[in-house]
Amino acid sequence: MNTLISNFKDNMERTLSKDISIQIGGSVMIKGWLHKKRLLGGLAFINVRDRSGLTQIVVEDKDEVEKLRGLQIGTVLEVTGEVVKEERAPGGAELHQPKITVLVPVEEAPAIEIDKPLDHKPENLDTLFEYRTVGLRNTQEAAIFKIRGAITRAIRNHFHENGFTEIQTPKLLASATEGGAEVFKLDYFGQEATLAQSPQFYKQMMVGVFERVYEIAPVYRAEPSATTRHMTEYISVDGEMGFVDIDDIKVFLSGLITSAVDAAWGEYDVELKRWNATKPVLTDVFPSIPMSEIHELYEKATKDKIADLKDLTPSEEKWICDYAKKKFGSEAVFVTDWPASEMKFYHKAQADKPEFADRFDLLFRGVEIITGSMRENRYEVVLKQLIEKAKGNPEDPGFKYFLMAMQAGMPAHGGFGMGLERLTQKIIGLSNVKEATLFPRDINRLTP
């Protein structure tokens, strides 16, 4: 009898939690983690978690209940049982008459409770991240990263379907691309290297090769303050296209964001609802509003006076997103006509309005998630701007190869960079970008 059961179990294929309801009336074997345990009289009600979800199990047999004594959440189990229809159980079925095998016992209670939603209040985030490696076992917490995975896949598909070639460019550089203080430096066999703040020059250079390129990879900013919007390491979604104008980039990006939103809601609407998320309202091509118009509208509506007309304040960003939602039916809006005075040396001014950069920011749900622009593609002009505007040395290795590519013939081109964490954050409705990051990095946190 024992031999029989043992053989039976050995030969039985594991069933995932999500699939047990297909086998109502039959027997299944599941494997996973003890996720919840309630003792009621002589009975035990347990949940077992695997990669697909939870299975509810009713344990009545005294010997089986005994096996669970002293075992903590996280214990690794194999359970064979009869599948019984039960509407209130996850997946519409539960296991009865279980035979339990403890694969790996856990005798200490987990560092934080994982069977109810974790506290995301700002003052609790430090605890959340300190115990991240256990806290992510909470299914609602893990859902953030499954949603992020769906978003990432949708973005890659959108690039691929539009003829982009995926590139992977080095993060170890001889000198800082964007300049400035916010750069990490390291010793590279006796010479100084920096960590890439963006793949900016590489993606532009590769337009000369592949015409349309994208990269999804980490970038590094030695951001000396802890905010809800910034990290020292994040995943940048970078795209760059040749033979386009700024409107082509806007059309492309409207499609990209829409694909990401549709994928998230298509695959994870239950999980999104559990986060109280609402599906973003978006138009086919997102509306564009010139910056000066935003200042005017905002000042008129709020009676606030804007001091710096060259940028938007965080309040304006929030306000204009609400405005665009009401007025145009879009929770994403392009801010256009940035002053040319703020351009970087590789940026391009508008042909017909040279006082403005040929640039946009994309605001989504109150925050900037993308900056995009056309680049100066004429070698002589970009060389001049590097020397005069940026006081850069054309022989500096950070510029030399970039200029080499420009000199070899570059079409009109432009592109954008987007923080993957910010997009994920805003789709789910989290209040801090770090909540959308498995192991966030900021000035105070280099672990886990």
Give, as ranges, the residues between 241 and 270 that touch a copy of itself (CB under 8 A): 242-243
**Between 146 and 229, CB nearer to a copy of itself:** 146
Identify residues 75-114 at the interface with a copy of itself (CB under 8 A).
75-76, 103-104, 106, 108, 110-111
> With binding defined as CB under 8 A, does residue 37 bind a copy of itself?
no
Instruction: Provide the mask over 42-61, with x wherever binding to a copy of itself is found by CB under 8 A and - wherever it is not.
Output: --------xxx---------
Q: Which residue type sits at 287?
A: P
> With binding defined as CB under 8 A, does residue 5 bind a copy of itself?
no
Phi, psi of 281 (to 5 degrees): -85, 125
> What is the C-alpha to C-alpha distance for residues 12 and 8, in angstroms, rounded to an integer?
6
Question: Nearest 5 degrees, angle CA 307-CA 308-CA 309?
Answer: 110
Residues 6+ apart with CB under 8 A from 45: 36, 37, 38, 56, 57, 58, 59
Identify residues 217-236 at the interface with a copy of itself (CB under 8 A).
217-218, 220, 222, 224, 232-233, 235
Among 21, 31, 36, 313, binds a copy of itself (CB under 8 A): 31
Question: Nearest 5 degrees, angle CA 103-CA 104-CA 106?
Answer: 140
- Cβ atoms of residues 240 and 417 within 8 Å: no
Residue 328 tokens read as 């145009």
Residue 399 tokens read as 């510029």
> What is the C-alpha to C-alpha distance for residues 306 and 399, in angstroms, rounded to an integer?
37
- Nearest distance, CB of residue 193 and a copy of itself, angstroms: 6
- Nearest distance, CB of residue 332 and a copy of itself, angstroms: 24
Range list of H helices, 310-436:
314-328, 379-388, 397-407, 420-428
> What is the C-alpha to C-alpha distance for residues 252 and 259, in angstroms, rounded to an integer?
11
> With binding defined as CB under 8 A, does residue 185 bind a copy of itself?
yes
Identify residues 147-166 at the interface with a copy of itself (CB under 8 A).
149, 152-153, 156, 160, 163, 165-166
Distance of CA 359 to the CA centre of its chain: 24
**Between 30 and 291, CB nearer to a copy of itself:** 30
Identify residues 332-391 at the interface with a copy of itself (CB under 8 A).
377-378
Among 29, 206, 272, 374, binds a copy of itself (CB under 8 A): 206
- Nearest distance, CB of residue 150 and a copy of itself, angstroms: 10
**Between 5 and 103, CB nearer to a copy of itself:** 103
As a 3-state breakdown, the chain gives helix, strand, coil percent values, each rounded to 5, of 35, 25, 35
Distance of CA 140 to the CA centre of its chain: 16
**Between 19 and 368, CB nearer to a copy of itself:** 19
- Nearest distance, CB of residue 308 and a copy of itself, angstroms: 28
**Between 377 and 425, CB nearer to a copy of itself:** 377
**Between 132 and 318, CB nearer to a copy of itself:** 132
Identify residues 407-436 at the interface with a copy of itself (CB under 8 A).
407-412, 420
Task: Provide the 8-state DSSP code for 311.
Answer: S
Beta bridge partners of 165: 213
**Between 174 and 285, CB nearer to a copy of itself:** 174
**Between 237 and 321, CB nearer to a copy of itself:** 237
Other Cβ atoms less than 10 A from the Cβ of 261: the count is 22
Among 188, 292, 301, 390, binds a copy of itself (CB under 8 A): 188
**Between 52 and 371, CB nearer to a copy of itself:** 52
Furthest CA-CA distance within the chain: 88
Among 171, 229, 325, 389, binds a copy of itself (CB under 8 A): 171
From residue 294, give the alpha-carbon distance in Å to each of 253, 306, 356.
Answer: 21, 10, 15
**Between 291 and 406, CB nearer to a copy of itself:** 406
> With binding defined as CB under 8 A, does residue 438 bind a copy of itself?
yes
